[in-house]
Amino acid sequence: MYEGYQLPDLNSIATNTETKVPKVHWELCLMLLPVAVYIVLYSLSPYLPYFRCWEKMLTNNLLSQEYVFYPNQKCEMDETGDLGHHTAYAQPRKVKWFTNSSGHRYHSAISKIPDIYIVGDSFAVGSGVSQEHTLSSQIEENSNLRAYPYAKATMNDFVRDPKIQLGPGVTVVYESVSDGLGIKTLPIEAQKIQMNTSTLYDSISGPLVYYDDFFKLAYRNFIKASIGRYYQNLFGGQNLNKVVYYIDEDKKILYDDALEIALTRPDDKKSVEQVSRTIASYHNYVTSKGANFVFLLIPSKAEVHFDEHPLRKGVRKSQFSHFLMEDLKSKGVRVIEVESQFRQMFLNNNETYFKDDSHWNSHGIKVAAEKIISEISGKDL
């Protein structure tokens, strides 16, 4: 009955079974381990690598073509200044941010024409202060004017946005810090650009923001910087950031290199006229649309503290800002100057700048807000 049947070779079966066991690719696992760790760290604490909301809300590669800050987002954290972060001089403060659908730091979209558009740099955005203390918020709190912060942006960005409507009753306040007056000339024909107005973005903004923020690689930079600070402290280096130019040890005030600009910036007629002509072109464009234009010049911290700054070494302070404002007045441009009042407040121990930051605080912002309201309404506050 079983004639011709051959029993299988059990040794051969065992050998074949062993060869089918999958090989573990340890090299691949080791390569993916840092990625997995990064994902876990980012998921557990997405705010840890950042010292302020500015960096957290700033767009990266994916969204930077249409937005400066992530739209429809909130941020709340204990911030430290751009000069004192991760040092013994840091002064933490609770800060809240929220942005609208255009990525601007405002409570609503540009649906109605505001009384004021504020166009400018990080001072107009309100770097270092909470939402209720920004320049636009202070104007609205102390008046019946509606002030929209179109910032961080240049005047070129502003006039090319199709959502912007200029006309009678509208005032454009162009703000610039004195050491950042490298302004590009406004084109005569302001070509409109296509902005993202699709409602589709609102439904996918969360995943897009997460993806864009993830690939900032903030944790990688954070770990790298932490290791650098550790070795700096280990070998007795001073616990400072690279951007810090000088420390007033008595008052614990940090400065950047703005003093060097205040000392060395050429204030000859040609240098002043070059910038004045550009700002005047902004004035001419805005007023040609029937709107009003005001230029707000913010002095740097080093300029306000100039006479007490030990590094001035008896050198003459550049008069560029003063000559610029006088030249703009002669061209018919309305200007707002705050340096003299900031200076007086500083002498009275009422500081208008954060000690660990290059930006103004709520006291300085309130002064500027009151001056803007007074300039537009014609009433002294």
Q: For 248, phi and psi rounded to 5 degrees?
A: -90, 100
Please tell me the predicted confidence (pLDDT) of residue 353. Answer: 96
Please tell me the predicted confidence (pLDDT) of residue 36. Answer: 72
Instruction: List the beta bridge partners of residue 158.
Output: none
Is residue 74 within 8 A of residue 106, CB to CB? The reply is no
Q: DSSP string spanning 185-239? A: PPPSS---------THHHHHHHHHHHHHHHTT-HHHHHHHHHHHHHHHHHTT---
Would 223 be classed as within a structural domain?
A: no
Would 308 be classed as within a structural domain?
A: yes
Would 66 be classed as within a structural domain?
A: no
Q: How far is CA 68 from the centre of its chain?
A: 9
Structure token pair of residue 223 = 């770990």
Which residue in this structure is represented by tokens 């270092």? 128
Would 46 be classed as within a structural domain?
A: no
Q: For 282, phi and psi rounded to 5 degrees?
A: -65, -45
Among residues 118, 78, 135, 125, the alpha carbon closest in space to that of 99 is found at: 125
Phi-psi region of 148 (alpha: psi -120 to 50; beta: other; left: phi over 0): beta
Please tell me the predicted confidence (pLDDT) of residue 238. Answer: 56
Is residue 125 within 8 A of residue 180, CB to CB? The reply is no
pLDDT in tens, the chain (381 residues): 555 555 555 555 555 555 554 555 777 777 666 667 666 766 666 677 888 999 989 888 666 667 889 888 999 999 999 998 888 889 999 999 999 988 999 988 887 899 999 999 999 999 999 999 999 999 999 999 999 999 999 898 898 888 899 999 999 999 999 887 765 545 444 455 444 444 444 544 667 776 677 767 666 666 666 666 655 565 555 556 666 777 777 778 888 877 777 777 888 888 899 899 999 999 999 999 999 999 999 999 989 988 887 777 767 888 999 999 999 999 999 999 999 999 999 999 999 999 999 999 999 999 999 999 999 987 654
Burial, 313: exposed, middle or buried (Cβ in 10 Å; 0-12, 13-18, 19+)?
exposed
Parallel, antiparallel or unpaired: strands 246-248 and 292-298: unpaired
C-alpha dihedral sign at 181, 184, 186, 191: negative
What pTM did the predictor assign? 0.82
Please tell me the predicted confidence (pLDDT) of residue 220. Answer: 63
Burial, 357: exposed, middle or buried (Cβ in 10 Å; 0-12, 13-18, 19+)?
buried
Please tell me the predicted confidence (pLDDT) of residue 116. Answer: 97
Would 344 be classed as within a structural domain?
A: yes
Please tell me the predicted confidence (pLDDT) of residue 187. Answer: 44
Would 143 be classed as within a structural domain?
A: yes
Structure token pair of residue 220 = 């990688």
Cα angle at 335 between 334 and 337, to 5 degrees? 160
Would 22 be classed as within a structural domain?
A: no
Residue 110 vs residues 77, 98, 106, 115: alpha-carbon distances, Å: 27, 15, 9, 12
Structure token pair of residue 371 = 């001056």
Among residues 18, 103, 31, the alpha carbon closest in space to that of 64 is found at: 103
CATH number, domain with residue 172:
3.40.50.1110
Q: How far apart are CA 375 and CA 369, in angstroms?
A: 10
Residue 314 belongs to domain spanning: 73-196+241-377
Please tell me the predicted confidence (pLDDT) of residue 379. Answer: 62
Q: How far apart are CA 50 and CA 93, in angstroms?
A: 14
Please tell me the predicted confidence (pLDDT) of residue 231. Answer: 57
Q: DSSP string spanning 133-149? A: GSHHHHHHHTSS--EEE
Would 24 be classed as within a structural domain?
A: no
Structure token pair of residue 137 = 């918020």
Q: How far is CA 301 from the centre of its chain?
A: 17
User: What domain count does the chain have?
Assistant: 1
